[in-house]
């Protein structure tokens, strides 16, 4: 890939916990590190914590880079900042396999066909998905993405990380996580292996180079139609140079950016801030 074929993005993601009394210790897992793969190259990645603590990393079952750390002393604040510089590519043309090919591939993709709590479709969504099934898997996936985008209004605050696809569909509103869960509920219902992707998205197609803007974590889906086809149902667009992938799984519960517990009786407040900048 040459840089002219895509974008170079800098992302900073800070999560801060403030406790109203000292937390005696905390134990944390972070999924904030972009990986180098076919569509993107991670040039620099770093995670810094306050208080500082030793880190160790591993790749989880789903192929996501995880950084774990423990703070073994009392603290009234915990700050986690992940930064990364990533080269990304333009969207790729999707493959168009047959349903027979999908059935053969599905023999090794049971994890991406089964439903969890967030993607269980219920009778109404299952019926809608069946009505969108076409002779070609790719056309089916495209129809499902189109219907997902039409079915929800993007509204912050009306759902939570515990909202299911069915609940968001009934309410007709949600955020990117809900768009992704709704799309997964229907693609899996028709027998298309599909997975949840977490990451970041630059919202401006004509982004000014060197201008840092406020962003947020984002989510989209990948559907197997001969190969993994990545599509963003929230923004109704293929995944391309404006997207940075972090993790994959069956739904949000497999890829939370920050996951942890702390010892003590303190209550906490959390602040999350994401900033993203195109650098070329």
Write down the pTM of the prediction.
Answer: 0.95
What pLDDT, in 10s, does the model give residues 94-148?
Answer: 999 999 999 999 999 999 999 988 999 989 999 999 999 999 999 999 999 999 9
What pLDDT, in 10s, does the model give residues 214-243?
Answer: 998 999 999 999 999 999 999 999 999 999
What pLDDT, in 10s, does the model give residues 193-203?
Answer: 999 999 999 99
User: What torsion do the CA atoms of 146, 99, 92, 131 make, to the nearest 10 degrees?
Assistant: 0
Using a CB cutoff of 8 Å and minimum separation of 24, what contacts does 150-154 make?
151/182, 152/178, 152/179, 152/182, 154/179, 154/234
Distance (Å, whole) CA 88 – CA 230:
14
Domains of the chain: 3-89+261-278 (2.60.40.2250), 99-254 (3.10.620.30)
What pLDDT, in 10s, does the model give residues 6-15?
Answer: 999 999 999 9
What pLDDT, in 10s, does the model give residues 25-61?
Answer: 999 999 999 999 999 999 999 999 999 999 999 999 9
With cut-offs at 50, 70 and 90, classify the pLDDT of residue 4: low
User: What torsion do the CA atoms of 97, 100, 102, 106 make, to the nearest 10 degrees?
Assistant: -160
From the CA atom positions of the chain, what is the Rg in Å?
A: 19
Distance (Å, whole) CA 206 – CA 221:
24
Distance (Å, whole) CA 273 – CA 38:
28
User: Given a cut of 90, is residue 78 above it in pLDDT?
Assistant: yes
């Amino acid at each position: 890939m040459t840089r002219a074929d895509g974008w170079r993005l800098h992302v900073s993601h800070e999560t801060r916990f403030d406790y109203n009394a000292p937390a005696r210790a905390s134990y944390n897992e972070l999924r904030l590190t972009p990986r180098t793969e076919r569509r993107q190259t991670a040039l620099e990645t770093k995670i810094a914590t306050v208080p500082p603590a030793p880190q160790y990393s591993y790749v989880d079952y789903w192929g996501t880079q995880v950084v774990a750390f423990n703070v073994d002393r009392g603290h009234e604040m915990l700050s986690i900042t992940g930064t990364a510089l990533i080269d990304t590519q333009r969207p790729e043309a999707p493959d168009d396999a047959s349903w027979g090919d999908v059935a053969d591939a599905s023999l090794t993709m049971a994890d991406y066909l089964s439903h969890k709590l967030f993607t269980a479709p219920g009778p109404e969504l299952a019926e809608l998905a069946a009505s969108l099934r076409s002779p070609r898997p790719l056309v089916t996936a495209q129809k499902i993405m189109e219907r997902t985008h039409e079915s929800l209004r993007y509204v912050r605050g009306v759902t939570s990380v515990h909202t299911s696809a069915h609940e968001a569909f009934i309410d007709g509103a949600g955020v990117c996580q809900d768009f992704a869960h709704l799309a997964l509920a229907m693609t899996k219902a028709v027998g298309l292996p599909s997975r949840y992707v977490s990451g970041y998205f630059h919202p401006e197609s004509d982004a000014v180079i060197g201008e840092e803007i406020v962003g947020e974590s984002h989510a989209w889906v990948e559907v197997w139609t001969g190969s993994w086809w990545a599509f963003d149902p929230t923004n109704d667009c293929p995944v391309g140079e404006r997207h940075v992938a972090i993790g994959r799984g069956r739904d949000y519960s497999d890829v939370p950016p920050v996951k942890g517990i702390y010892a003590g009786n303190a209550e906490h407040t959390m602040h999350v801030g994401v900033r993203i900048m195109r650098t070329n």
